[in-house]
Structure 1
Amino acid sequence: MKIQKRKNGPRVEIHTFDEGSPIGYGGGAILLLVKQQTQAYISTKPKQKTGWRTKETEVREEFNKGQIDILVMSETKKKGHGTEDIDGHLHMWSGINKENRAKAGVSVLINKKWKKTITSWEPINEHIITVHLKMCGRSIVLLGVYGPTNDSPATEKISFFETLKEEIEKVKTKQEIIIAGDFNGRTGNKAHNKTVGQFGEDTINDNGERLIEICELNDLKITNGFYKHKDIHKYTWIQETRNLRSIIDYIVVRITTTIKIQDVRVKRSAECGTDHRLVVAYMHFPWYGVAKKNKEETAKQEQQKDNQNNQEINEKRFKIHLLEEETIRDLYRRRLDEKLIEFNFNNLTDTYEHVKKSIKEAAYEALGEEDGKNKKYTEELSQEAIAAIQEKKGLHQKWLCTNSGEDLQKYKDKNRETKKLITFHLLVYVLQLYGFQGIDNFVCRSECR
């Protein structure tokens, strides 16, 4: 995270970008983005129905292209919870149990510049994830959320909002709180109200009422409705085929927050095959450079705490793609066999730790670590798939300029075609990786179809 000094402190931009599902469907995911130069960005963007695996390439491209610092995604359909390295950036996810059918899921992708600001994170469930940051001497609690749809059973909605309320109540008064994501709620508009602004839409639904109630109980405000904009910069979800639109993606902060929010609006340029729009909030941090009693001692304590909390987070990622070569696979097997043979099995715990250590050491010796340089696309995709993605983005930009039904249909057709192509090439990549016999015949038959 890069901070430039100003007389009035650094300025922050917060975005919400809902990547949603393909045009014609509901649902979505969240994208939370924070970017601090003298500015920082937070965004929410629900993800595709197809899940994180098939959309990772496009999300990564938008992440690097927009120089995003923190990205919160929902409906990733990524099971379990954990962390992984993506081009040097840190990806944390919270999903449903691995034995259940894939659904929902939230995750946070944090730029490598911001890793040192993370003090801890917690996967609450498939709808909520929390990340604790230490920035400019202040503690900030970030909640990424993906709310159930308004048509979901009442028990599911009650459970979600009760859990959200509990997590909000855990935040101390001196801590800043930022909640960003797809709530699937429409909060309407109210004049002279501290929680809901006067520039929102006219409609309100059950999820919206529940969100307003929680915000009023905890002295929070829904920032979207406090800034006047054109409709194209206000509505976060648009379905052109049925002429539907709504505001369901929000950024929520304290009413008495010391963060100065300068503007909140929608940006349409980011595209990941979704009917949701990128929401941007511009924020200003006035408390940069707060003096500390003992800077050296405090810095040392924080570093020790960061090292302890981020021991799992900061693990290196190995060059797994090298296992495609037979000689590298043989070398890895030999290194692993040598290390496993050297151990006497005394108890289950020691055995587990030794096996885990042996796998990492063998991978380091045979594969090496990733260099952490940004890659525009994942290596699994072919040039054909990459070209299709670029063509789809071009059609999206053309539709935004012309707003014609013909260009919209061309974009939708190319979006469906691109998703099928990416899924096919990922399948071929996995089959090749595991040495599937007859892969050439499989590819030939699939392309002929």
Structure 2
Amino acid sequence: MHIIVCYDPTNYSPVEREEEYYEELQSVVDEIPERDMKIVIDDFNAKVGRNNRGIKNVIGVECLNEFANKNGALLISFCSANNLVIGGILFQKKNIHKYTWTSPCGIYKSQIEHITINKERSGNLINVRSYRGADISSDHQLLIATLKLKLKVHNRKVERIYRGDTTKLLEEEHRETFASECRKEFAVLETLREEEQAINEQISVS
């Protein structure tokens, strides 16, 4: 599992700054093996909207904000390119559990922070919601995701041990055959030992 935590420029930042940000984020994502779980947690400052036509593999329809802003479009493009799903838009929640930011005047509320995960692992994501009760001295709410992980157990392969039938040695015929085979094996070992000794003597003389 790889968790990337970052902070996106505001929606009013220059285009060059946004491009630089996503290039840097992309370089980090590219280093993660494809088979691993990727989770990107970010204050994207992104409203992704409810229109998921053509991008159902990225977002659902449970967004608090009806329309996407510039950062939202960039986030959707980034997720599409990296096969990521925006988790908070998948779950049906009350609006009070969707918004992650409140304006200083207390009137406007937006869902601009998001938790994304690679699509093939999105089944591990069982809940995403914001919590208003935490006292964190901020105009942002806590956004928490709940994951359920299934760890695969790799069973060690047990080699089967062959056990000979020693009762056959009680029979004269099998006993003589066994003794003959043993003499042959020891004869080969003795020959190898003599050849090794001869080579060592030659090396010592030279």
2: CA distance between counterparts of 1:152 and 1:272?
A: 26
1:147 matches 2:11: no
Q: Which runs of 5+ in 2 are unaligned?
A: 158-206
1:263 matches 2:127: yes
1: CA distance between counterparts of 2:20 and 2:128?
A: 29
Alignment correspondent of 2:117: 253
2:70 corresponds, among 178, 193, 206, to: 206
Alignment correspondent of 1:227: 91
SS of alignment partner, residue 120 of structure 2: coil
The letter of the residue matching 2:153 is: V
Alignment correspondent of 2:45: 184
SS of alignment partner, residue 45 of structure 2: coil
- How far the C-alpha of 1:255 sits from its partner, in A, is 0.8
SS of alignment partner, residue 143 of structure 1: strand
Distance 1:258 1:196, change over 3 A: closer
Alignment correspondent of 1:197: 60
Tell me the percent identity. 27
The letter of the residue matching 2:94 is: K
Alignment correspondent of 1:159: 20
- How far the C-alpha of 1:190 sits from its partner, in A, is 3.1
Alignment correspondent of 2:140: 276
TM-score normalised to structure 2 length: 0.70
2: CA distance between counterparts of 1:184 and 1:224?
A: 14
TM-score normalised to structure 1 length: 0.33
- How far the C-alpha of 1:271 sits from its partner, in A, is 1.2
Alignment correspondent of 2:80: 216
Q: Number of matched residues?
A: 154
- Is the 8 Å Cα contact of residues 259 and 285 (structure 1) preserved in structure 2? no
Q: Which runs of 5+ in 1 are unaligned?
A: 1-139, 295-449
Pick the structure with greater CA Rg.
2
2: CA distance between counterparts of 1:211 and 1:263?
A: 20
Stretches (4+) displaced over 2 A = none
- Is the 8 Å Cα contact of residues 85 and 122 (structure 2) preserved in structure 1? no
- Is the 8 Å Cα contact of residues 236 and 247 (structure 1) preserved in structure 2? yes
1: CA distance between counterparts of 2:154 and 2:16?
A: 48
1: CA distance between counterparts of 2:108 and 2:126?
A: 29
The letter of the residue matching 1:199 is: E
- Is the 8 Å Cα contact of residues 49 and 68 (structure 2) preserved in structure 1? yes
The letter of the residue matching 2:76 is: I
1: CA distance between counterparts of 2:104 and 2:12?
A: 21
1: CA distance between counterparts of 2:122 and 2:70?
A: 30
